[in-house]
Each structure stands twice: as C-alpha cells, then as structure tokens.
Chain A
Amino acid sequence: MHTAARTNARVGDSPLLKWSLIGVVLVISALIIFAPLVVIAVQAFSLGVEAYAAAIMHPDTRSAIMMTVATALIAVPVNTLFGIAAAWAITKFDFPGRSALLIVIEIPYSISPIVAGVAYLFVYGLQGLFGEFLQDHGIKILFALPGIVLASMFVTAPFVARELIPLMQAQGRDLEEAATSLGASGWRTFFSVTLPNIKWALLYGVILCNARVMGEFGAVSVVSGHIRGETNTLPLHIELLYHDYQTAGAFAAASILTVIAVITIIAKVLLERQGAGRRGRKAATDQSDIPTRASA
C-alpha cells in the first residue's frame, strides 16, 4: 500500500524534500529579512524609551521627517496625475510613438537611481545646462526641496502608470464609449465611469509610489547636498547619524521608516483583497466582462 502511494506521489512531493525546502526558506527569511527588523527595534530602544523619544524629537530628525513628508506630499500627487494621464493616453488613444512612450515610462525601473541624481546634477547644477540661468534668477533647485522632489519623481514615475495600464487595457474603451454615447461629458465619464473601475489599482500604485518616495536614497543623496537640518530626508539622515556613531538615533529614525513600510505592506495586502495589484487582476477584469473586441 505504502509503495503504491509513493509511486503515485507527484514529482517533488516527498516529505523530505518538502520540509527541507520549507526549512531553508524559513531560515533564510529569518536571517536576511526578519532579523534586521528585530535589530532595528532592539537598537532603537537600546538606550531606553526616553532616549528613543529624544532621538526622534531632535530638531535634525524632525527636520528630516518634515522634508520626507513634504517631498512625498508633492511627488506622489504629481506622479499620480502623471500616471493616470499616461495610462489614459496609452490605453484609450492611438498615436504615433505610443509603444515608445510605454518603454520610456519604464526607464526609471531599470536605471540605477544614482544615475538619475547625477543627471539632474548635470542639468540643474552650477556647471550644468541651466545652472547659470537658475543662479542668476535666484532659483534654487539643487541642494533644496525642488531637486529632491524632482529626483524622487523620476524614480517613482512608473509606479502608478504601471498599475493602471494593464487594467485599463483589459477594460478596453467600451465603458467610456457607452458613457459618451449616453451624453456624458469627458469629466463625467472619467469621474463616474473610469475612476470607480480603476480606484483600487490606483490606490495600490499610489501606496507603492509613496513608499518608494519616502525610502528613496540614491537619487536624493546626489541632489540633496546633505545639509543637516535643512535638506536631509529621513533615509539620508539615518546614514548621517550612523556615520556619526549615533547608533540609537540612527535606529530610532530607521524605525520610523520601518513602521511606514509595515503600514504600506498591510495596505497593499488589503488592497490586493479588493482586486488591485497583479495578484487580484484576474478577478478585477473578469467582473468587467469585456473581452477584446473582434475587429469586424
């Protein structure tokens, strides 16, 4: 009997393989993902709760938090609007260069963020293309909030568009055409037909975009100038504190980013249950019931 069962087992179904594989994955996850998070928590409170509070309330840390929040408050809405516009243009219109645009939008995914930072340096820096012009007019882009926002926007440009494009492609143009044929204006069509059908995917993209903006280090590092208490964002501030041997302070600041990350993950999972993201995409498109149109 047992031999029969064994020969019927599917490939790779032996308990030994199963448990050793699960074991290896668990150990590696614990070592390289979970352990550092525990270290952050432990180190952040290593000098006690009061020291933790003091580290977070330190003016430089508060300034870094404000800088990060300000960056996100500008970069995320702008990129959200850009993402919607790009997804709309690509999925609802035919125009020359459409597939080229699709590729261009993805560039920030594949390029190292530091390259983006250096590129901004060349464009807006003193020796850069617009450097003199900007200085003559007293406009400060580099080593100030505008540069940080621009660099962050570059890095996160694809996040919203990438979530929306496949969904809107699957939904096709029928719904918008139906709404228009019923007399709805462009705005009304967008707000009462398009937006409700993409809202979860949109929120999903916004949350990923926000997480990336708040956590971005490479590109921002080049353009911020690391001015303590002025142009440091949280990730930059953490590095600075660490180099100053203020371990507890560094970990306290890091704990803030970690909390943001955990909130992001929870929001992401909740949204996926609503049908957003790649995992839930099938369900989301199935109910809309719009296969591609036969071109008769």
Chain B
Amino acid sequence: MKIRLDHVVKTFQTFRAVHDVSLDIESGELVALLGPSGSGKTTILRMVAGLEFPDGGRIFFGDQDATEIPVRERGVGFVFQHYALFPHMTVADNIAFGMRTRRARKRTPAEIEARVNELLRLVQLDGLGDRFPAQISGGQRQRVALARALAVDPRVLLLDEPFGALDANVRRDLRLWLKEIHGQLGITTLFVTHDQEEALDLADRVVILNQGKIVQQGSAADVTRNPNSAFVMRFLGDTHVIRSSVEDGKARAGSITVPAPGLANGPAEIYVRPSDIAWAGTEAGLPVTVTRVIDRPGSRRVFARMESGDVVEFDVAPENPLAAGDRGAIRFLRAQVFAA
C-alpha cells in the first residue's frame, strides 16, 4: 500500500508539531522517521495511523483519501513504544484480540488458533502463547506487540520507537529480525526513532525531521555522505565544527582547502567527523598540538588542540606512538562546508 502525505499540518494548542509535511512512501518500502524529540515524528506516525487528525493537508492510502478515516477503520497495524499489551490477557489472547473484533474478517475459533500459532512462529515465540505479558522479557513483549499488529492483516505497519525501551544487545538483534520479517512480508512499514544508527541500519529510506519539517530524506548513503544541512550533519553523528571562511568556492583551514561549491564568499564552518580526520605528521595540513591520547581496543583516540584553541578528536592506529605534547598536522579525508 502506497502512502502519500500531502502538505500535512498539525498544531497542538499553540505548538506547531508538524509543519507542511509532504511525503511519499512506496508500497513495500521500509521508511524511518528520524529526528530529535519534539521534531514531530511521532505526531506524523499517529496521523498516518488515525490516532491524531491533521489540521490541514490530506493523507492518502493508495488512491483512497484516508485523512478522515478513524483508526478503527483504517486497517493499520500500530506497535506502541511501550508495547501496550493487554496485561490481563495471555500472549495468545493478545494476538487474537484483533481477529475477534466485529470489524475483522470472520474466522472460526480454529482458524484463529491456527493463525495465532503461525504468528507466534513468525515472531519466534512458539510455546509462549499461555504466558502473560508480565511473565516475558521486554524483547519478547515487543515481538508479541508486532504479532498482534500483524494479526489483523494491516495495509500498513507503523512502529513508534519500536526498540526504545530495550537494552542495546536486544535492540541490535530485534533490528536485524525486523528487517528479516519486513523482507518476508513485504508490508509497507513506517517507523519512528531518535536513534540514527537504528534508522540507518534498518530503513530503505531515512526521513530526517526537525521542528516539524522534513529537512532531508534519502537512503542511508545519501544522508550520511551528502548531508544537506549542518543540522543533518550534526544529528547523524559526532562532528567537529571548524571556523573558516569561503573564498572563491573554497573553505580554508590552515593549509587545507575544502571545496564549498555554491557557497558565497564569507564566514563558513567546516564540519568534519572524527573518523574523517587523519594524522599528517610533519606534512602540510592543519597544525595541532596533541593534548591527550586514550588507548582503545582497535585504535588510539587522540585529542589535539588547534591554533584556534578548539580541540578535535580523531583516531590513529594502535602502533602510532603519538603522545601528549607532540606537534604536527591533521588532514581531512572528507568534510562538509556550511555557511556560518
């Protein structure tokens, strides 16, 4: 099911949560809404679900205008951040809940039981159907919530911070597993996260939001290699900001020049990630003084002070004998320039 958001606006009292958002999600696509808290990503998800209604704009499911269709009729599977499993029902009853409503396609009790077992197998929870939500782990609850959402054969799967409440190892496993399930079922899926790693790992397309607006969207490669704004650059990972100025389409830092096509002459900032900084030793580059070195399993993290007084961090190979007090230069393997 293809989903289209057309100039959607949502205001809570005086707070503009979503500001003229237009977005196309292709059938079968796995899309992440990524942004800091307050960026409107959850509100967008809830509007697609029908749990909130936009103040302006339309939402289409395929060719159908779904804007006013209430959540009960909309045919979406929604997975809540804190699972929202019914605590007084067994895992199997939770999964069967949607199939027993009057809205659902008529099924005999035997068919429902068969479908529950099929879903339990899909989410790898065979044999846990008799447990209550309080008797299973967080990761298992999340999988039950997914099975429950899938049980009603939704047109679209919506997940609100699906792994937000889980610890790091479980998150990683579930992420791979969700990708697998999505591959098997091919259901159009939209999920919300504030964790850039999660979005980049999982999604076919990442939609980055800030203050209720889409700032950039594209594949993980697009948004990481060609961030279109300082916000995206900062939001996607650790970034150093080096004050500079643009002259004739080039930004200068020490003897380093970074191409800045399309930028007018004037003050600018060079954004560079720690992993994109290399130690140049006595060769030409941006002169620095090493202030501290930390040994890590696969590398050594160097803290170095630039002439401006700001400190940059970067990694060198474990064999590199750099020590505090050493002077030398750094160079940039990759960098972005944005107007200051």
Contacts and interface: CB of A to CB of B under 8 A. Distances in A.
Contact of B42 (A175, A182, A296): A296
Given A178-B85, A192-B97, A296-B42, 9 more contacts: A174-B82, A178-B78, A181-B49, A181-B149, A182-B151, A182-B152, A193-B86, A197-B87, A296-B38
A25 interface: no
Contact of A182 (B81, B97, B134, B192): B97
Interface of B: 35, 37-39, 41-43, 49-51, 70-72, 74, 76-78, 80-88, 97-98, 101-104, 133-134, 141, 148-149, 151-152, 161, 192, 194
A289 B133 contact: yes
B82 A181 contact: no
Contacts of A294: 37, 42, 81, 161
A177 B101 contact: no
Nearest to B76: A181
Where chain A touches its partner, the secondary structure class is helix
Given A293-B81, A296-B39, A183 B87 contact: no
Interface residues of A, number: 25
B87 A287 contact: yes
B82 A185 contact: no
B82 A184 contact: no
A288 B80 CA distance: 13
Contacts of B82: 174, 289-291, 293
Nearest to A289: B82
Interface string A178-198: 111111110010001100110
B51 A177 contact: yes
Given A175-B86, A294-B37, A185 B102 contact: yes
A289 B87 contact: yes
Contacts, number: 95
Nearest to A186: B72
Nearest to B77: A181
A66 B102 CA distance: 44
A288 B85 CA distance: 8
A7 interface: no
A99 interface: no
B306 to A, nearest CB: 36
B148 A290 contact: no
A110 interface: no
Contacts of A288: 87
A185 B102 CA distance: 8
A185 B83 CA distance: 20
Nearest to B93: A192
B97 A177 contact: no
Contacts of A184: 72, 97-98, 101, 103
A127 interface: no
Interface string A114-135: 0000000000000000000000
A86 to B, nearest CB: 23
Nearest to B102: A185
A11 B49 CA distance: 57
Contacts of B83: 289
